[in-house]
């Protein structure tokens, strides 16, 4: 196991007003870390961190990391989590996705290098593409179509991994790479196009729950609190990675849809729609490296995580109804 190599007093979180970034900001503050949250609000929202605004150790700055990044004062940790992350977003913003994976990574690595800070890159299971190896280990190089519609996200992350590695090997920057698998939980956007918020929103509204293809394709879902623990374990270590952070609890999309219908108490039926181009058929992390090097493993059972997520979406829906009324 890799032990902590530095004391983290002040952290910069790019994409900190997004779904995952906002949870990172929250957990860092709970650990006594001062947080500078950078976001251009392309897919994130100040609403995700509004509950942190009065915290004396939290600062929110509107910043596009593809232009320029300047943070005065000392920085011990840079977490680069800025990027569109759902298909509906990166298909709508392909150039922005490629820029944040290239220029954004370059600029944030420069910040970390100048400050002598630990740097953690948020990479993704999408670097494995439609995998020919199952489950996916970190040694697997992937099966990605660079000119397919998903290629803008997959290749942006693959490039960012290469850039991060180059800074470590050529400049001695203290870098780490986490490959994140299908994280879910409160603060996901209902319209972000990912399966869980889509299924929950449809089920709560009593609409048909739309499953792509025949629903046999699989994903491995990890509750956000577990993902954040893994990321922060990586941040506290000196390990370069890449390290898979995800829950090996694999299930089919049809089973997930049926489970969510049951948890919401909905009368929704399942409706099958066309499968997206290059949609991966299977996805499951081998988490041996995370367990051995970071002493990390997911703790929240999928049923409990889904219950919490459904409850949050139901509350948001109820608040919206009351506001309209």
pLDDT at 5: 55
pLDDT at 276: 85
pLDDT at 319: 78
Q: Quick check: bond before 169 cis, omega within 30?
A: no
For domain 10-187+222-248+282-299, which CATH number applies: 3.40.50.720, 3.40.50.10440, 3.40.50.300, 1.10.510.10? 3.40.50.720
The stretches in the chain having pLDDT less than 50 are 1-4, 321-325
Which residue's structure tokens are 């994140």? 180
Query: CA-CA distance, 289 to 104, in Å (whole number)?
Result: 27
Catalytic residues: 153
Predicted model pTM: 0.94
pLDDT in tens, 147-203: 998 999 999 999 999 999 999 999 999 999 999 999 999 999 988 889 999 999 999
Q: Where are the domains of the chain?
A: 10-187+222-248+282-299
Q: CB count, 10 Å around CB of 176?
A: 23
pLDDT at 324: 32
């Amino acid at each position: 196991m890799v032990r902590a190599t530095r004391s983290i007093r002040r952290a910069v979180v790019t994409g900190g007003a997004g779904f995952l970034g906002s949870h990172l900001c929250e957990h860092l503050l709970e650990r006594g870390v001062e947080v500078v949250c950078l976001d251009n609000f392309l897919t994130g929202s100040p609403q995700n961190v509004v509950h942190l605004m009065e915290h004396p150790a939290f600062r929110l700055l509107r910043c596009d990391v593809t232009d320029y990044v300047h943070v005065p004062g000392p920085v011990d940790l840079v977490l680069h989590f800025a990027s569109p992350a759902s298909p509906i977003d990166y298909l709508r913003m392909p150039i922005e996705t490629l820029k944040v994976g290239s220029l954004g990574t370059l600029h944030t690595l420069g910040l970390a290098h100048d400050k002598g800070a630990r740097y953690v890159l948020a990479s993704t299971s999408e670097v494995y593409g439609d995998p020919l190896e199952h489950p996916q280990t970190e040694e697997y190089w992937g099966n990605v179509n660079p000119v397919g519609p998903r290629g803008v996200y997959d290749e942006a992350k693959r490039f960012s991994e290469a850039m991060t590695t180059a800074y470590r090997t050529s400049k001695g920057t203290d870098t780490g790479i986490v490959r994140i698998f299908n994280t879910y939980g409160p603060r996901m956007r209902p319209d972000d196009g990912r399966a869980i918020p889509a299924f929950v929103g449809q089920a709560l509204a009593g609409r048909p729950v739309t499953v792509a293809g025949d629903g046999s394709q699989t994903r491995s879902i990890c509750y956000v609190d577990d993902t954040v623990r893994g990321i922060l374990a990586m941040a506290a270590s000196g390990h370069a990675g890449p390290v898979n952070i995800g829950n090996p609890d694999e299930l089919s999309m049809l089973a997930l849809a049926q489970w969510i219908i049951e948890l919401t108490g909905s009368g929704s039926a399942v409706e099958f729609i066309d499968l997206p181009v290059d949609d991966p058929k299977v996805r499951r992390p081998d988490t041996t490296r995370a367990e051995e090097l970071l002493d990390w493993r997911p703790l929240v059972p999928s049923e409990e995580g889904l219950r919490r997520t459904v409850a949050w979406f139901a509350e948001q829906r109820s608040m919206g109804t009351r506001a309209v009324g």
